[in-house]
Amino acid sequence: MKMNAYVAGVGMTSFGRMMERGLKAITGDAILAALTDAGMEATDIEAAWMANAAAGVLTGQECIRGQVALRAIGIGAIPVVNVENACASASTAFNQACAMVTSGAYDVVLACGAEKMYFEDKSKVFGAFMGAVDVEHLKSIMENLQRSAAASGASQASKGAGQNRSMFMDIYAAAARAHMARFGTTVEQFAMVSAKNACHGSLNPRAQFRETMSVEEVLAAPTIAEPLTRPMCSPIGDGAAAAVIVSEKKMRALGLTKAVRIASSVLRSGWDHESGADGLSEVCAREAYDEAAVGPEDLSLVELHDASAPAEIIAYESIGLCAKGEGGRLVADGATKLGGRIPVSTSGGLLRKGHPIGATGIAQVVEIVDQIQGRAGARQVEGARVGLCHNGGGNIGIDAAAQCVTILMGQ
């Protein structure tokens, strides 16, 4: 929907392995950082939207996840809405918080996403992803993935899904093989995405992985599911991100001259459509552009859902950065790296910044806000003014289950 709300402050933890810390502590760190950035107190918050995807499965904390985290830092009495929407949980929380400010219901709200995914039993973690598809069709989904792998000679991808890796890597691998067959995209181009994002992540002090990688190193890494090698797959991780959102009236009253405008935020779910027809990302992006009165050519940078390297290339095409089939050439030409025509995943993306699934959508907002405010350090995009966040979650049929596309602008 067309929004009339502003980001007054953002906060984010580093992403990575935090075995010694619980979800409440991680969440609190991000919220307190966002309040400090906004120059506000906890008592200023009128309502909160708290995103998490997997705590119920992984920690047993169901039902009141947001209230538990907020009470730990002294925030109570306000309305708290718990949001779970697969990997799009945080962007959904952000969308709904912005919508309530736009409607006039509140002047100051909090949107926060957090996840803790590092546990000794990794099979439990991978099992949590199984709930992001239609579980009544899980057997047939796994059989279809195995048939797809066998038909293309992908022996590694024909076994182990959901046991030693997230089954979503097999879904992405199948999409990658289809893209290669249809458009001639190469595995080297997928590796270029990982190498680019490794370069960007090396400049981000909050990224989970900060080592640079060459295309050759990406290709030489262990295969997860053909054609994906390990650096082409987003890691599990712990982390949290938060944003304080205010109305235009409040922004002006407080004199927040650097607040970032939420120009549009579109949230939709997938539907049954023919293969090759415009899907969820295309529709959400088109609607977001229309509501913000901008086009792909106006973007300064993009944070997109690169849960795998092929997913980034496919997203280039679906959000209009290039025509269908030209995503591989776009990365090969250097257009999406820092200094290129349209830098993508300047944070390092999900591939290198990390992907604590319930936090990712707002972590994208944090990166865009930092870029627009000119405080991204060594990864700063010169003159950044308009940024797009693209965050998806789950899978049903041939599309994501949920998608949110948000456009942010400087004043």
**Dihedral sign computed on CA atoms, order 357, 305, 301, 347:** positive
SS percent in the chain: helix, strand, coil, step 5: 45, 20, 35
DSSP 14: P
CA distance 289 to 264: 8
Q: How far is CA 212 from CA 193, 209, 312, 402, in A?
A: 12, 9, 18, 32
Q: Which residues are catalytic?
A: 87, 355
CB atoms within 10 A of CB 106: 20
116, 23 in Cβ contact below 8 A?
Answer: yes
Q: Which SS3 state, helix, strand or coil, does residue 394 take? A: strand
Instruction: Give the tokens for residue 394.
Output: 């789950």
